[in-house]
């Protein structure tokens, strides 16, 4: 049995490693509030969500497949949470049955495996009944296929046959085992046999002619004989014990996969509830082919920031279609870094098959998301700040694929303006030549002005909005680079209002 709720034709790999630069993405894009909202205290949902979101999809059809399933989940929240809770309960009950289980004796293994399988039969029956109740309300290909699989493989005949086998495996009438005589009069080729049943009942046994049989009786205190007989029994049931244990592992792996895959959608439901409670819009994005250069958005906001603040955050509108390089300049504390994070989060969530934080959003897929943000000084003093920036950039370049998206936030400002601008300019032009999309927040006027003077139609220039009196709207709008970041606004904000001279008495 396969759930196939994250991929159309393959299972989710819960051991899939995170990208090599996952720590940088967590830090630069502020991912912790996102996963906190999705998972809460559920470690399984958190682990699955991180692996799904950070290892994004690169095929449009795969993203649309997952989006349709998520739409179904949002429309049938109670049923989705019920399936997830059932999978969790099945795994926890199996774990409790296993607790303290040490012996590898075939008899003990068989007894434990039969008990666990009986529990699994009950849980599978509940899953089938749940599917019967809710299947008609789901429309996505993923859920329709999933419920059809349950109806097909968990039919009444399956449960009847399985319960009959479990009753037989209790061996309440003893075991019937055959063997052949081997070298040294030792037994070999032990085989568990199915007993002959339904031969006329007890009356036939009394008046009929039974085949000859030979038997012996152990003395109650014959411990050695009891051990020998137990060993003979274990040889006979060994294959059956292994078969039932493997069947248990198969059903357990199904429930574990169901818990992981359904857990991702349960996490998405929790995230949607958190954003809705904060009066923030969410929408399903339009993923476009990777070769295009499209970026259209309305009300795009930083999801992690929205989850960290009680009041709604401000979104941005824009259309950057046809642009491979976007340079963002403007006033300090004007919302540039927040907008950059919103770009990264939206791209990452879209390629995970999720909704995004916006009123509407459309973008081409990218061949990997990377960040290069400024860092604090190296406290270990093993290298200077500029050396550290160059080392991270070298590592980033080694990971780049064509059509990747790179987000820069005030990079190369740890050196002088001329040198930092020259390095950044060469990188931007090289990335552009290799079809790598760049969004660059910078205070380097020489960099921004020099790129603007090129008059390249594939470059866009945005600026943090600032009114004449110095107030910020925290939006970014189209605008050419200015030679000032308006640091005097911050100076007045910090000092003018707090250090006014006291009036003379």
CA dihedral 468, 469, 471, 472 (to 10 degrees): 10
Closest CA to 466 of 356, 361, 364, 336: 336
CB 284 within 8 A of CB 355: yes
pLDDT at 54: 97
Say what the pLDDT of residue 203 is. 53
Q: Identify whether residues 267 and 294 lie together within a single domain.
A: no
How far is the CA of 423 from the CAs of 248, 358, 405, in angstroms? 60, 34, 19
Ranges of the chain with pLDDT below 50: 100, 381, 490, 502-505
374 and 428 inside one domain = yes
Same domain, 396 and 483: yes
CATH of residue 433: 3.40.50.300
Do 255 and 387 fall within a single domain?
no
pLDDT at 503: 47
Q: Are residues 351 and 491 in the same domain?
A: yes
Is the same domain home to 300 and 152? no
Assess contact for 261 and 46: CB atoms under 8 A.
Answer: no
Two structure tokens written together for 5: 């709720």
Co-location of 327 and 454 in the same domain: yes
Domain presence at residue 44: no
322 and 261 both lie in a single domain: no
If you count them, how many residues does the chain have?
A: 505
Domain count within the chain: 2
pLDDT at 350: 98
pLDDT score recorded for residue 433: 94
In this structure, are 140 and 267 located in the same domain? Answer: yes
Q: Is residue 233 part of a domain?
A: no
* Distance between CA atoms of residues 356 and 359, nearest Å: 9
Per-residue HEC secondary structure of 326-345 comes to: EEEEECCCCCHHHHHHHHHH
Task: Judge whether 227 lies within some domain.
Answer: no
Distance CA 351, CA 361 (A): 12
Domain-embedded: residue 231: no
Cβ atoms of 256 and 333 within 8 Å: the answer is no
pLDDT tens-digit readout, 459-471? 999 998 876 665 6
**In a shared domain, residues 272 and 284:** no
Residue at 191 is within a domain: no
What is d(CA 464, CA 471) in angstroms, rounded to the nearest whole number? 11
The reply to whether 13 falls in a domain is no
* Residue 442 domain boundaries: 280-496
Task: Tell how strand 325-330 and strand 405-409 pair up.
Answer: unpaired
Position 176 in a domain: no
The dihedrals phi and psi of 156, each to the nearest 5 degrees, come to -65, -35
Same domain? 290 vs 414: yes
Q: Which residues of 317-356 are buried (b: 16+ CB within 10 A; e: fewer)?
A: ebebeebbbbbbbbbbbbbbbbbbbbbbbbbbbbbbbbbb
In a domain, 259, yes or no: yes
Instruction: Mark whether 367 and 391 lie in a shared domain.
Output: yes
pLDDT computed for residue 171 by the predictor:
62
**Is 25 strand, coil or helix?**
helix
User: Residue 286 CA to chain centroid, in angstroms?
Assistant: 20
């Amino acid at each position: 049995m396969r759930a196939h709720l994250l991929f159309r034709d393959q299972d989710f790999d819960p051991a899939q490693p995170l990208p090599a630069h996952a720590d940088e993405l967590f830090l630069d894009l502020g991912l912790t509030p996102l996963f906190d909202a999705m998972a809460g205290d559920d470690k399984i949902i958190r682990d699955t969500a991180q692996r799904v979101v950070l290892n994004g999809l690169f095929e449009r059809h795969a993203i649309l497949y997952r989006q349709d399933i998520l739409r179904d989940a949002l429309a049938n929240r109670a049923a989705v949470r019920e399936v997830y809770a059932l999978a969790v309960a099945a795994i926890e009950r199996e774990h409790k049955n296993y607790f303290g289980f040490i012996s590898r004796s075939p008899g003990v293994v068989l007894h434990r495996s039969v008990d666990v399988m009986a529990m699994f039969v009950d849980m599978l029956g509940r899953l089938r009944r749940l599917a019967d109740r809710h299947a008609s309300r789901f429309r996505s290909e993923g859920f329709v296929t999933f419920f059809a699989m349950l109806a097909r493989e968990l039919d009444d005949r399956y449960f009847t046959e399985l319960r009959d086998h479990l009753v037989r495996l209790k061996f309440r009438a003893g075991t019937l085992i055959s063997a052949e005589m081997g070298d040294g009069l030792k037994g070999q080729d032990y085989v568990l046999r199915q007993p002959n049943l339904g031969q006329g009942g007890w009356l036939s046994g009394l008046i009929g002619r039974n085949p000859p049989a030979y038997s012996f009786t152990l003395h109650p205190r014959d411990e050695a004989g009891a051990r020998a007989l137990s060993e003979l029994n274990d040889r006979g049931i060994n294959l059956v014990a292994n078969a039932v244990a493997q069947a248990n592992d198969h059903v357990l792996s199904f429930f574990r996969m169901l818990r992981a895959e359904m857990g991702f959608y349960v996490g998405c439901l929790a995230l949607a509830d958190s954003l809705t409670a904060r009066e923030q819009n969410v929408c399903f994005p339009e993923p476009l082919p990777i070769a295009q250069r499209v970026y259209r958005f309305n009300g795009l906001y930083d999801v992690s920031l929205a989850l960290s603040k009680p009041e709604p955050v401000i979104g941005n509108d824009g259309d950057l279609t046809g642009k491979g390089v976007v340079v963002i300049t403007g006033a300090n504390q004007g919302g540039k870094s927040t907008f950059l994070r919103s770009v990264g989060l939206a791209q990452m969530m879209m390629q995970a098959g999720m909704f995004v934080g916006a009123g509407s959003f459309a973008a081409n897929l990218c061949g990997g998301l990377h960040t290069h943000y400024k860092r604090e000084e190296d406290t270990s003093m093993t290298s200077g700040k500029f050396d550290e920036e160059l080392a991270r950039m070298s590592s980033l370049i080694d990971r780049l694929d064509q059509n990747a998206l790179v987000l820069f936030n005030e990079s190369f400002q740890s050196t002088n303006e001329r040198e930092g601008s020259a390095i950044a300019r060469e990188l931007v032009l090289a990335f552009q030549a290799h079809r790598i999309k760049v969004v660059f927040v910078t205070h380097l006027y020489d960099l921004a002005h020099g790129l603007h003077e090129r008059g390249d139609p594939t470059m866009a220039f945005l600026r943090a909005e600032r009114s004449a009196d110095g107030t910020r709207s925290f939006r970014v709008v189209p605008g050419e680079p200015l030679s000032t970041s308006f640091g005097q606004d911050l100076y007045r904000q910090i000092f003018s209002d707090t250090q006014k001279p006291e009036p003379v008495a």
